[in-house]
Amino acid sequence: MLTKECAYRLLQKAISTGGDFAEIYAERKFTSSYECLNGKLEKANSGETVGVGVRIYQGLKSVYCSSNELDEESLMEMVGNLSKSISSDERIEVKEFHEELIETKHPILKPLKQVAVKDKIALLKRADKAMREYDDCIKTVQNRYSDEVQDVTIYNTDGKMVKDHRERTRLYLMAVAQEGELRQDAGRNPGAHQGFEFYDDMNIEELARETCESAITMLHAKDCPSGEMTVVIDNGFGGVIFHEACGHSLEATSVAKGNSVFCGKLGEKIASDCVTAVDDGTIVNGWGSGNVDDEGNPCKRNVLIENGILKSYMVDRLNARRMNCEPTGSARRQDYTFEPTSRMTNTFLVNGKNTFEEIIQSTKKGLYAKQLGGGSVNPSTGEFNFSCREAYLIENGKITEPVKGATLIGNGADTLLKIDMVANNLLRAQGMCGSSSGSIPADVGQPTIRVSSMTVGGKGGKLE
């Protein structure tokens, strides 16, 4: 798409007005998606996007442009215009490119573009059948398959030239249970940075039944009580609490300019002793994994919090300059139209000492949040919120009846200090994370944890 020689000339142009660093991100992405509604394939769409993003640094200033008009003349003109917003007497040389050959850490055994469309659709049909046969009250089943194959090449003025090939596939199951006027939906969305072999060992029928069961259970749930209470958050997607309550506030995007509650807290205790949290972009075939990040630096395993002590932020190249530290392989972007910034990859709490049973048994009264939905955070205040898709009351050490419409809110800094039990059943789950550099795949995860006190919002009145 872009020759090495052309990339070199573009970088020369980019720094011609005094930039001290420039980078090119060239991307080609093929996407396909199929949707099945109540047994029929209703939507099929596929296509290709291709483009280039160029950025130039001058000190702490960064300028960016992107285009999919890819002839050299247009690109030169665009980069020339961009370089006009930089002005300095400094001049650097573009170093000769040395292509880094990376050995993939994320093997792709059945490349997604080589898999017949009918095999992808067959997955949807299997799930659909299992779901519609599960129970008469399952009235609507809407399942979707999507995958993307992305090739990126990154060049920079330090002589870096690195290519990465990424394949991601994901299944979205959704069931609606209905009885009279009552309705409830539930979903499961497994995905990986992997080829079609991801589905080889997956028990699709089991996943389908689990989805339906979740919807049916919640159909008869009563409204969640409200107020301050002890909350047990289950493993897997429950990790979204750490993602929102803390993860975003540890991204250099918030930290570098002093907008995070965790600024200047490295080496300090910010969570209770039982909390160790990691952001790990190296997990084999992990949904948020890569070989290199979107600046071409190797993805890394970064310990963010160790036994309650803040150890590291997630830092991209530009913010590393501002923060006077090394980048952590955390630069990510949705596609070539976005300038990369520090983002999470696969972020999770590590296993603790308790068992799931111990946590439930030692909780006299509270809420058991089994499946969480998404959430959001305001990094400058640390205030976060997220919703429970499936939740139950805990009474006298036992899980009792289901409750619906629960929202958990709090302040990240407070909540981290209130985690008082961590189980040993770590599980990761897949999500899409939206922030300033677009929507990107990210894993959340945790073992089951207990928060001693949290505000629960629902319309069911006070917890008796």
Partner 1 sequence: MNLNKLLEIAKREGATEAEVYYSSSKMTSFEIYEQDMDSYSSSINHGYSIRALFGGKCGISYSEDLSNEAFEACVQRCKENASINESEDIVEFAKPQPVHEVQTYHPELNEIDLDEMKQLMMDIEREVKERDSRIISVSNCSFEMSENECIIKNTLGVDLKRRINFVVAVVGCEAKDENGVVSAFKIEVCFDLAKLNKEKFVNEVTEEVISKLSPKRLISGQYPVILKNKVSSSLLGSLSGMFNAENIQKDLSVLKGKKGQKVFADNITVIDDPLLKDGYSSFGFDDEGTPCQTKVLVEKGIFKQALYSRTSALKDGVNSTGNGFKSSYISNISIHPTNLYIQPQDTGYDEMVEGMSKGLIITEISGLHAGLNPLTTDFSLLASGYFVKDGKIEYPVNLITIAANYMEMMNQIEAVGNDLEFSYNGIGSPSLKLSNIAVSGE
Interface region with partner 1, contact rule CB under 8 A, candidates 63-71, 97-105, 293-301, 440-448: 63-71
Q: Does 69 bind partner 1 (CB under 8 A)?
A: yes
User: Cα separation of 256 and 415, whole Å?
Assistant: 23
Whole-number minimum distance, CB 359 to partner 1, in Å?
23
Kindly tell me the burial class for residue 110, based on how many C-beta atoms sit within 10 Å of its own C-beta (0-12, 13-18, 19 or more). middle
Sheet strands (E) in 180-300: 182-188, 191-192, 222-223, 227-233, 277-280
Query: For the window 347-376, what string marks contact with partner 1 as x by the rule CB under 8 A?
Result: --------------------------xxxx
Q: Does 439 bind partner 1 (CB under 8 A)?
A: no
Task: Give the residue, chosen from 150, 217, 226, 354, that forms a contact with partner 1 under the rule CB under 8 A.
Answer: 226
User: Cα separation of 46 and 34, whole Å?
Assistant: 9
- Nearer to partner 1 by Cβ, of 159 and 374: the residue is 374
φ, ψ for residue 160 (rounded to 5)?
-75, 135
Q: Are strands 438-446 and 346-349 parallel, antiparallel or unpaired?
A: parallel
Angstrom CA distances, 107 to 104, 110, 166, 169, 301, stand at 6, 9, 10, 14, 18
Give the side-chain half-sphere CA count within 13 A for 372.
34
Instruction: Name residues contacting partner 1, limited to 268-287 (CB under 8 A).
Output: none
Q: Does 80 bind partner 1 (CB under 8 A)?
A: no
User: Cα separation of 58 and 72, whole Å?
Assistant: 24
Task: Give the residue, chosen from 66, 272, 285, 342, that forms a contact with partner 1 under the rule CB under 8 A.
Answer: 66
- Nearer to partner 1 by Cβ, of 214 and 291: the residue is 214
Whole-number minimum distance, CB 437 to partner 1, in Å?
11
Instruction: Name residues contacting partner 1, limited to 378-437 (CB under 8 A).
Output: 378, 380-381, 383-387, 404-407, 409-411
Task: Give the residue, chosen from 261, 270, 283, 423, that forms a contact with partner 1 under the rule CB under 8 A.
Answer: 261
User: Cα separation of 384 and 382, whole Å?
Assistant: 6
Identify the CA nearest to 339 among candidates 55, 12, 130.
55
Task: Give the residue, chosen from 185, 197, 205, 210, that forms a contact with partner 1 under the rule CB under 8 A.
Answer: 185
Query: For the window 132-171, what string marks contact with partner 1 as x by the rule CB under 8 A?
Result: -------xx-x-----------------------------
Task: Give the residue, chosen from 3, 103, 200, 462, that forms a contact with partner 1 under the rule CB under 8 A.
Answer: 462
Largest CA distance in the chain: 74
Owner of token pair 């084999």: 284
Task: Give the residue, chosen from 4, 98, 222, 459, that forms a contact with partner 1 under the rule CB under 8 A.
Answer: 459
Q: Does 176 bind partner 1 (CB under 8 A)?
A: yes
Whole-number minimum distance, CB 185 to partner 1, in Å?
5
Whole-number minimum distance, CB 170 to partner 1, in Å?
16
Q: Does 307 bind partner 1 (CB under 8 A)?
A: no
Task: Give the residue, chosen from 93, 101, 114, 118, that forms a contact with partner 1 under the rule CB under 8 A.
Answer: 118
Task: Give the residue, chosen from 4, 60, 133, 264, that forms a contact with partner 1 under the rule CB under 8 A.
Answer: 60
Q: Does 452 bind partner 1 (CB under 8 A)?
A: no
Whole-number minimum distance, CB 340 to partner 1, in Å?
12
Whole-number minimum distance, CB 227 to partner 1, in Å?
4
**Per rule CB under 8 A, count of chain residues that contact partner 1:** 77
Identify the CA nearest to 162 among candidates 23, 47, 272, 282.
23
Give the side-chain half-sphere CA count within 13 A for 135.
18
Contact status, residue 26 vs residue 68, Cβ threshold 8 Å: no
Contact status, residue 117 vs residue 34, Cβ threshold 8 Å: yes
Q: Is the dihedral of CA 280, 281, 282, 285 positive or negative?
A: positive
Task: Report helix, strand or coil for 424.
Answer: coil
Instruction: Name residues contacting partner 1, limited to 311-330 (CB under 8 A).
Output: none
- Nearer to partner 1 by Cβ, of 287 and 384: the residue is 384
Task: Give the residue, chosen from 31, 334, 425, 452, that forms a contact with partner 1 under the rule CB under 8 A.
Answer: 31
Q: Does 183 bind partner 1 (CB under 8 A)?
A: yes
User: Cα separation of 342 and 329, whole Å?
Assistant: 8
User: Cα separation of 412 and 382, whole Å?
Assistant: 5
Task: Give the residue, chosen from 257, 364, 365, 398, that forms a contact with partner 1 under the rule CB under 8 A.
Answer: 257
Chain centre distance of CA 69:
30
- Nearer to partner 1 by Cβ, of 106 and 243: the residue is 243
Task: Give the residue, chosen from 82, 138, 250, 314, that forms a contact with partner 1 under the rule CB under 8 A.
Answer: 82
- Nearer to partner 1 by Cβ, of 55 and 106: the residue is 55
